[in-house]
Structure 1
Amino acid sequence: MAEQLRAAGIGLEFLTRELQDSHAPSGVMFAVLAALSGMEREYIRDRTLEGHESARSRGKTIGGAAVTDAAMLSMVLHLRDQDLSLRDIAARLLITKGKKKGGHPSPATVLRMLREHDANVAAAPATG
């Protein structure tokens, strides 16, 4: 990877402090900083997950407020049968509760509703 970076003319340059200079991608400094940044990323991830777990144990909900309900799902399923795009379906729906009341859900929310519904239908035991 260091060779690809060097061939592309990419290097590491410190503009201030004690390390002020240019460093080649294959240098020791580059390797040390890459390792430290990877460790820092893992540390931040672990701390974030610990915070989520702590919040859940206190009864807090992680993520945004739910804007969907059974009536909206019913309308989404009806509109899907009309071969409308996710964007068109979202534009025809209204959020009925919370801060976003009166707005439209995003196409991603519509897609999530459909995926969850389809997964629940597929997981339900067959009757008959």
Structure 2
Amino acid sequence: MNQPGMKGREIDFIPDRLIEEPVVFRGLTDTEVVVLISVGLVFWIPVSVLVLLPFGWGLFGVGIGVGMAIASLLVIGKYLQELKRRRPDGLHIVYLKKLAQKKFSFINFNYIETSQGWDIRREKPVVRIHMETEE
């Protein structure tokens, strides 16, 4: 009662890329697009409403904020598309974490960025003692 490709209740072979998220827009996955749009909306809507509120056009700020969020998705999507090109999956996140750690001192992802050497601080060289073994 075995089906082809099955070993009892287990699947015999699963390709590596079968479980990964599909690319949806400009080389971005669905999760990345949703995160970029959400962050863009949270940032651009209040900014554009606060800029247009003194002129009495605060409601138009919502529409302009949505447009700016879509525009920022296009710009950031193009940057991430170039960053992800010809690299293994997930390496762009490591690059962005390293960049954030280097630029901002309060962010620490425990990446080692500097090369250092240790010194024993001896003033005179160590004299070797040759001991003879008894045989």
What is the TM-score normalised by the length of structure 2? Answer: 0.28
Larger Rg: 2
TM-score w.r.t. the length of structure 1 is 0.29
The higher-RCO structure (CA 8 Å, 6+ apart) is 2
